[in-house]
Amino acid sequence: MRNHDLKLEFKSFHSPDIEELFTWHPKSGEEVCFWLEFEIGEHDTNESFMFGVTIANQQGYNKNKKEYPNALFEPVIIVADDDWSSIKNALKSILDECSANTWELTLVNLKKHFAFEHG
């Protein structure tokens, strides 16, 4: 983040695929592939925009692409460490790199990594 960039934060997280997202941890060797929705907004405001992304490890992504060839899995973030803490850190890193000095520029950057959910 540069000096005059917006200070962004995640306002919420939700996955229709995982009930207990914050305590979830896959079994060793388990294929991971799920949809994650989240709100992003500027720090110290109530306003936010909804985004989504597929989170997968390589095995889970490959299996799902093979089993459901016509399904849309993009955008996707391939993770090596697939516990919630590692996933959140990866998302935070992307969020920091997308911050710009206006919302318009920030949204352009965020849309390169995440699906924008119109609402």
Residue 15 pLDDT exceeds 80: yes
Q: Does the pLDDT value for residue 108 go beyond 90?
A: yes
Does 100 map to a domain? yes
- Which element (helix H / strand E) includes 90? helix 84-98
Provide the domain count of the chain.
Answer: 1
Is residue 75, in this structure, part of any structural domain at all? yes
- With respect to residue 54, please indicate whether it lies within any of the assigned structural domains: yes
Range of the domain at 32: 8-117
Strands 8-14 and 49-56: unpaired
Residue 3 lies in a domain: no
Cα-to-chain-centroid distance, residue 72: 15
In a domain, 28, yes or no: yes
Residue 2 lies in a domain: no
Burial 21-47 (b: 16+ CB within 10 A, else e): eeebeeeeeebbbbbbbbbbbbeeeee
Distant-in-sequence, close-in-space partners of 44: CB < 8 Å, separation ≥ 6? 7
> 47-106: per-residue pLDDT in tens?
999 999 999 999 999 998 888 887 777 899 998 877 888 899 999 999 999 999 999 999
The model's pTM is 0.89
Q: What is the C-alpha separation between 41 and 115, in angstroms, rounded? A: 15
Question: What is d(CA 46, CA 90) in angstroms, rounded to the nearest whole number?
Answer: 23
